Structure 1
Amino acid sequence: MILEARGLTRHFGGLRAIHAVDFDLTQGEIHALIGPNGAGKTTFVGLLSGRIPVEAGTIRFAGDDITRLPAHRRVRLGIAYTFQITSIYPRLSVHDNLALAVQQRGAADLGRETLAALERVGLAGRAAQEAGTLAYGHQRLLEIAMGLALSPRLLILDEPTQGLANAEIDAFKALVRSVVPETTVLLIEHNMDVVMDLADRITVLNAGEVLASGPPAQIRANEAVQTAYLGG
């Protein structure tokens, strides 16, 4: 296991956002996290990435206890998290956004590795464009490229296909497949076609608790999941 969470709990006042969740990520897998709005998905990945403090429970990454580590320390250990709302630098060029991410990793050849990262997501032709002027879907691709530029061991993607056209979704799926097994991917996604096509395993959250976890066929056939989320 590359990541193990046990008993993760986070309440906000009287709201039970995440309660006693156990969760495992296997090295090299694509693991999808799904659930209805308000299920606690964004809070949960905030706990894993260190952006929200853990109230109770433990998180281990590659065997080390990271429960109390701040987000920037987790990034250095190899956890990259792209946000549901894009977190690019809008006044900088596409190239310079990526160069900052590549530089953070300590690249030997900044120019060459930045260009390679741009080409990987199909944005090389937009390198000089101010990032804030990109279409929303292209901003998402830039954000994913910035995450990948860190060469993470775990890449957490929060609603990555939101705003992407169908052709861009196909390219995104190919991109995700290309990074495993070197990188483990945790995918928070509403597009169930993408989830069922990409994921090796799926965990379903509902009301801050794990409703089910397993391979796509098992999740699709689960009556409780159908009732809570899949509209069955």
Structure 2
Amino acid sequence: MAAVILSARALTRHFGGLRAVDGVDFDLHQGDIHALIGPNGAGKTTFVGLLSGRIPAQSGTITLAGEDITRLPAHARVRKGIAYTFQITSVYPRLSVFDNVALAVQQGTDRDLGPAVMAALSRVNLADRAEQTAGTLSYGHQRLLEMGMGLALRPRILILDEPTQGLASGEIANFKALIRSLVPETTVLLIEHNMDVVMDLATRITVLNLGQHLATGTAAEIRANPAVQDAYLGGHHAAD
């Protein structure tokens, strides 16, 4: 089994009386495509917010390749190789596609800007739209641009929050091919409600329920897990 690149132990975040993330243990293995699933209110978005540093942990630890990053702010985690693309598209609508990615590249390193931007745009099949104003892209293309911005950071870990939401079926096929092309150089963690995408893509799946870790396993193991069926797969597929 590949080495653990990102690890959480007893990770906890409460909001008032709500236990959004309640003592979760989690391991992300190098080169995996790891899906995070669970019913509405399971705590998935809060959990990846804790991993990326956008939300501070109340207790517990997070380590990246053995280094404790629990107290590091989000921008410092980006520099260490954790890129997080958001559930709501976060492109700059008035800037060109090229300039959106250029801003991301500048955050990452002092690389030669033009080639680095075009390489990232080529990965997400948007090189021919480099001069287009980002706000005029279709929703699906804006999601791809957002991924290009994440990839421009050359992350060790790419965290994707609902990446296929709003994509047409043809775009989903392209998205799956893109994700497969990233590993093993990049490790991928995705929150995803489309179970066909999860079962097809994920090498490992973790299920959260009511802020707690319910199960981790392969697609076949998760499908066959009675506790997961009760909590999620057998029930309604609510949106987060």
Matched, 1:65 2:68: yes
AA in 2 matched with 1:4? S
1:150 corresponds to 2:153 = yes
2:129 matches 1:123: no
Name the amino acid aligned to 1:164.
L
- Counterparts of 1:120-199 in structure 2 under 5 Å? 120-199=123-202
State how 1:14-53 maps to structure 2 within 5 Å. 14-53=17-56
Contact 1:107/1:113 (CA < 8 Å) preserved in 2? no
Q: What is the alpha-carbon distance in structure 2 between the residues aligned to residue 108 and residue 14 of structure 1?
A: 46
Q: How far apart, CA to CA, are the structure 2 residues paired with 1:129 and 1:231?
A: 44
Alignment gaps of 5+ in structure 2? 236-240
Kept after mapping to 1: 8 A contact 2:32/2:187? yes
Summarize deviations over 1:113-144 as a string: whole Å, max 9, x none. 21221121111222222112211111110000
Correspondence for 1:100: 103
> 2:213 maps to what in 1?
210
What amino acid maps onto 2:6 in structure 1?
A: L
Question: How far apart are residue 107 of structure 1 and its match?
Answer: 5.1
Any idea what SS the aligned residue of 1:164 has?
Answer: coil
Aligned residues between the structures: 232
Q: What percentage of residue pairs aligned between the two structures are identical?
A: 77
One-letter amino acid of the structure 2 residue matched with residue 176 of structure 1: I
Describe the superposition over 1:172-223 as per-residue Cα deviations: whole angstroms up to 9, x where unpaired: 1111111111111001100001101110100000000011111110001111
CA-to-aligned-CA distance 1:52-75 (integer Å, 9 cap, x gap): 010010000011000010000000
User: Is the Cα–Cα contact under 8 Å of residues 96 and 130 in structure 2 kept in the other structure?
Assistant: yes
TM-score, structure 1 normalization: 0.97
Q: Partners of 2:233 and 2:108 in 1: how far apart?
A: 40
- SS of corresponding position for 2:198: helix
The amino acid across from 1:10 in the alignment is R
The one-letter amino acid of 1:202's match is: I
Measure, in 1, the Cα distance between the counterparts of 2:233 and 2:111. 47
**CA deviation digits over 1:150-172, x for unaligned, max 9?**
00001000000011111111111
Matched, 1:231 2:234: yes
Structure 1: gaps of 5 or more residues: none
Q: Which residue identity does 1:22 align to in structure 2?
A: D
> What secondary structure does 2:91 align onto?
coil
Counterpart contact for 1:11–1:55, Cα < 8 Å = yes
Q: Give the match's secondary structure for 2:105.
A: helix
Q: Does the aligned pair in 1 maintain the 2:36–2:44 contact within 8 Å?
A: yes
Task: Please report the TM-score for the alignment, with normalisation by the length of structure 2.
Answer: 0.94
**Deviating 4+ runs (over 4 angstroms):** none
SS state at 1:142 partner = helix
The 2-side partners of 1:107 and 1:176 are apart by 26
Structure-2 separation of matches of 1:107 and 1:163: 34
Contact 1:6 1:21 in 2 (8 A): yes
